[in-house]
Structure 1
Amino acid sequence: MRILTWFIVPPAIVAGIVLAIANRTPTTFSIDPFAPGSAAWSVTVPLYLIIFGAVLVGIVLGGTASLFARARANAHARDARIKAQVLQRELNRAAPPAAAPTTLPAVRT
C-alpha cells in the first residue's frame, strides 16, 4: 500500500503545481447566474484556486457520503451481531452441553 502511495501522490502533487502555474490568470467567479457582473456575488481569484476549491469540495462531499454509507453498514452489522448473540444464548439454553466422562477408559496391554 505504501509503494502504491508513493507512485500516486508525487505525480498528483506535480500535476497540481503544473496546473497552478499554468492557470495563474485572474478569473471572476460569480455565484449569481442572472447578473454575472454583480460585484456583491462575485470574486476575482486565480483560476487554479477555483479548480482546487472545487476538488476540495468534491473530496469533502465524497468523504461525507462515504461516512454516512459506512455508518449505515456498521449499524446493520451491529444489529446482526446482536441477533446472533441472542440466538446463541437461546441455543445454549435449549440444549445444555453434554457432560464429559469423569473416568478414563481402561488401557489394555
Structure 2
Amino acid sequence: MFNRFILIVVFVPLAVILIALAVANREPVAFTLDPFNPGNPALTLTVPLFIFLFLALAIGMIVGSLATWIKQGRYRMLARQRGAEAENLRQAVSRAPTASQSPVLPKPTN
C-alpha cells in the first residue's frame, strides 16, 4: 500500500514534470570543451538541451550518493564490529553450560 502511495504521489508528478521539461527543451544546443576556440567541431557536441539537463541531474545524484556513502563509512564499520562482537557473544553463550549442567565448584580452603 505504501509503495503504491509513493508511486502515485511522488513518481507520477515527477514523471509529468520531466516529460514537460524534455518537450519544452528539445532544441539542439552546442556544448564545447574548448573555451578558446568554441567553433572547433572536434570538441563540440550538439544535442537537445533536455539531455544535458538529465545528465546533470544523474551526475548530481551519483555524486550526492557517493558523498553520503563515504560520510557514513564509519557507521558501517562500527555496525560490522558490533555485529561480529554480538556473534561472538552468541557463540559463547551457546557453548556455556546451562544451570542444570554447571559443574560443582570446590569450596575454597583457608
* Category of TM-score, reference length = shorter chain: 0.5 to 0.7
Corresponding residue of 2:27: 25
Q: Give the TM-score of the pair, scaled to structure 1.
A: 0.66
Rounded Cα–Cα distance in structure 2 between residues aligned with 1:53 and 1:29: 13
* Structure 1: gaps of 5 or more residues: 90-96, 100-109
Could you tell me the percent identity over the aligned residues? Answer: 34
Q: Is 2:57 aligned against 1:60?
A: no
Structure 1 residue 56 displacement after superposition: 1.1
Q: Which amino acid aligns with 1:34?
A: F
CA RMSD, aligned part only?
3.1
One-letter amino acid matched to 2:51:
L
Distance 1:35 1:72, change over 3 A: farther
Equivalent pairs counted in the alignment come to: 98
Q: CA deviation at 1:44?
A: 0.4
User: Normalising to structure 2: TM-score of the pair?
Assistant: 0.66
Choose which of 71, 80, 83 in structure 2 pairs with 1:78.
Answer: 80
Moved more, 47-56 or 3-12: 3-12
Unaligned runs of 5+ in 2: 93-97, 101-110
